[in-house]
Amino acid sequence: MDDFYVSHSRFSDPGPHADWLAATPADLAALREAATQLVFHYWGSGPITDHGFPAARNDEITLRYAADMWARLRELNPAPPGAPRAPLQRIVGCCRDFTLLLVSMARHHGIPARVRVGVASYLIPGWYIDHVVAEIRTADGWRLVEAQMPPGFRDPVDDVEFDLLDVPRDRFLTGPAAWIAARAGEIDPARVVVNPDLDVPFLRGFPYAWHNVVLDLAALNKHEMLLWDVWGAIDDTVELAPATLARADELAELMTGGDVEQLRTAFEADDVRVPPVIHTVTPPGLLPVEVALR
């Protein structure tokens, strides 16, 4: 299992920037802190233009491959990851981008790492917010690692500072864990959202929980997709059909087992496998654009 997650995917591969990453330490804590300096969240602190970014830099949220992200970061500041970066020297992106860059650095150093898509209850009190973290293999097993939050982050729910290198699994729920909890009534599906203020029906509740099951399955198969990618069974359906509910139940149960061969087999199904051409619905416009993956 570990060997599979040590090697790069086409998305995490730094390409010609591998030599640049050689300057980073093979230390998980240091790599995590480095990742927090690489991305400026495209909405987390309000409009990027309020922070000196030209509006056109919002296009950086479409950067899909780590090699392109590293290229842009080198252009903005040639210092290797790990040194402090002014906000304007970071790429504009989201939680997926913090996490993919951490996974790219970890795999570069031979550390088994993968992206996990799910929801966090430690971002906005009372809500399960769409989020992405890394899952890193350590001597103690797989740990959830928060790539976005800076050192000293305190959980706004109870003002507790938890270990960002070992995020509690009841505070970040992976896609399948969130689906199972929502179906069992352990969490309120209406509280599962991309953003509480974003009133788009298919970006809330069971439709979005299903979306995250599929994206998490893709990530476990080293297809670390953009959060607004659409393919196969993912669409803008608001009321899931009984067959879709059953399919999600089946996949979520299988994914909790963590067997790589089972995950690969499950990912071969037409409704979840990432095809060569997908659609992406980049915010804020939410208009689908066809993308051919390289």
* Mean pLDDT for back-to-back runs of 10 residues, the chain (294 residues): 89 97 94 98 94 96 98 97 96 98 98 98 96 96 96 89 94 98 98 92 94 98 97 92 97 91 96 97 84 96
In the chain, the number of structural domains is 1
Distances (CA, A) of 5 to 57, 65, 115, 139, 220: 32, 17, 10, 15, 9
Q: Where do the DSSP E strands lie in the chain?
A: 39-41, 91-93, 113-120, 128-138, 141-145, 172-174, 192-193, 229-230, 277-280, 289-292
Nearest Cα to 164, choosing from 11, 35, 26? 35
Distance CA 95, CA 118 (A): 11
Q: Is 282 exposed, middle or buried (0-12, 13-18, 19+ CB in 10 A)?
A: middle
Distance CA 217, CA 203 (A): 18
Structure tokens at 187: 């969490």
Q: What is the pLDDT of residue 88?
A: 98
49 contacts: CB under 8 Å, gap ≥ 6: 55
Structure tokens at 194: 């991309």
Distance CA 71, CA 77 (A): 10
Q: Residues 95-124, buried b or exposed e (16+ Cβ, 10 A)?
A: bbbbbbbbbbbbbbbebbbbbbbbbbbbbb
Nearest Cα to 217, choosing from 118, 72, 286, 126? 118
108 contacts: CB under 8 Å, gap ≥ 6: 8, 14, 18, 21, 22, 24
Three-state SS at 134 = strand
Domain that holds residue 141: 2-292
CB contact at 8 A, 252 and 290: no
* Global pTM value: 0.96
Rounded to 5 degrees, what angle do the CA atoms 97, 40, 148 make? 55
Q: What is the pLDDT of residue 2?
A: 67
Q: What is the pLDDT of residue 257?
A: 86
